[in-house]
Structure 1
Amino acid sequence: MSESCWDYPRPPRLEPARRRVRILDPAGRLLVDLPPSDVPRAWRVLETSHPPTYYVAADALPEGAVRPGAGSSWCEWKGRASYVDLLDAEGAVVRPRAAWTYPRPTAAYAELAGALAFYPSAVRCLLDDEVVLAQEGDFYGGWITSEVTGPFKGGPGTLGW
């Protein structure tokens, strides 16, 4: 099934992930493996002009896989985001700001409280067995797969879209 990111709504829609979500660190260590479920532990956010952004429950990761990172940013829809560093099995930072989280999102996105969204440029992401491509520019962190078509916001010259 193909869907155009230009059919996605604004403000963004939050929905449970429909596909198996897997995330591996740069060394190949499995960090997340979540099948679709009636009680979602993985979600996707759909917003006009962006490939979907996937969030996973923080408790789906191995203990000690992440720690708070530097900085924060603001989303007009979801609120204040905090960044997260990815750690290797020994506790060393392997990817600073590899993911972000909304500790206290706005009411419309309350399900995302504490969930993590990983940049596919920082880790290996798969939906079912399909390897995800990173959204250009890395600001939005969208997951590009064969099921979604663009053009996508994020690359040079697209800021004003």
Structure 2
Amino acid sequence: MGGVSGHAGLFSTAGDLLLFAREIVRGRKGEGRVLSRPSAVRMTTRVAQPAGCPRTLGLDTPTPPRSSPKKDLPGKTPCSQAGALASPDAVGHLGYTGCSMWIDPVRETSIILLTNRVVFGSDNRKLSALRPRIHDVVWKEIAG
């Protein structure tokens, strides 16, 4: 990209995202190489202000299910994009093109999903229903 640029996404590889996720997990345990200071760990694992904000200072957190069904998911009460089985301690990022990364520092696990939702047009909403199901399959396997 040749320097500083604004964009609507996360540009990386699965391997590099895994290194990033591992650093967050290690940092929370005080073993991080980059996130070794407690303040840096809190920035990536604790909800930011104002109260009720569903994000940390840099990442998203799992949201509780909504009480009313969303138009693109008829008849279903949508859960967090992290999945219904995501730990409340999980943090992550959702990209416009459907990519997602969720990190659970307690389970010491991360899920990285790299996709291209807009390949069939920018109105494609099918991944919104599929993404939490994929995450839940992984969370369930990890839990045993």
Do the structures match in fold with TM over 0.5? no
Q: TM-score, normalised by structure 1?
A: 0.24
More strand by share: 1
Q: Greater relative contact order: 1 or 2 (C-alpha under 8 angstroms, separation 6 or more)?
A: 1
Structure ID, larger Rg: 2
